């Protein structure tokens, strides 16, 4: 295993819990958005957790994108590309949609949860991901 294999494998190992947490928080936000009177304190706590997870996911994505062309182990390469594809197709797009929906609902309730920076960060991550040939 070369250095690129090791770096990507470390990122993939870290992704196991990050993606699980990301999915859990997405589900929680989606469930909260279905309630007519959202608990805004809870929404904000979950959004803060999502920001931390998104930051960690972005670091892992950057590691993978930096090293993917040098990965010699085909299993590691395929797993990395699969996870990047999942995050591209499902994870971040769902998060973006939910954040936009929550922002609209919060405004209707008289709150401003300001997710503009979150949306920009997600768009930036999606742009990076799109540069990898999937």
pLDDT digits (tens, 9 = 90+) for 67-111: 988 988 899 999 999 999 888 888 899 999 999 999 999 998 889
How do the domains of the chain map onto residue ranges? 3-130
Distances (CA, A) of 103 to 8, 31, 96, 97: 35, 15, 11, 10
Tens digits of per-residue pLDDT, 22-59? 999 999 999 998 888 888 999 999 999 999 999 999 99
With b for 16 or more beta-carbon neighbours within 10 A and e for fewer, the 48-61 pattern comes to: eebeebbebbbebb
Tens digits of per-residue pLDDT, 65-77? 999 889 888 999 9
> What pTM value is reported for the model?
0.88
């Amino acid at each position: 295993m070369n250095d690129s294999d090791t770096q990507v494998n470390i990122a993939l190992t870290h992704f196991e819990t990050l993606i699980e947490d990301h999915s859990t928080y997405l589900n929680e936000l989606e469930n909260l958005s279905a309630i007519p009177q959202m608990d805004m304190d809870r929404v904000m706590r979950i959004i803060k957790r999502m920001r931390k997870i998104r930051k960690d996911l972005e670091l892992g994505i950057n590691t993978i994108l930096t090293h993917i062309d040098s990965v010699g182990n085909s299993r590691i390469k395929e797993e990395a590309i699969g996870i990047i594809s999942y995050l591209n197709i499902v994870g971040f797009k769902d998060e973006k949609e939910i954040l936009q929906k929550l922002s609209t609902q919060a405004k209707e309730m008289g709150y401003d949860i300001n997710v503009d920076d979150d949306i920009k960060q997600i768009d930036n991550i999606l742009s990076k991901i799109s540069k990898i040939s999937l």
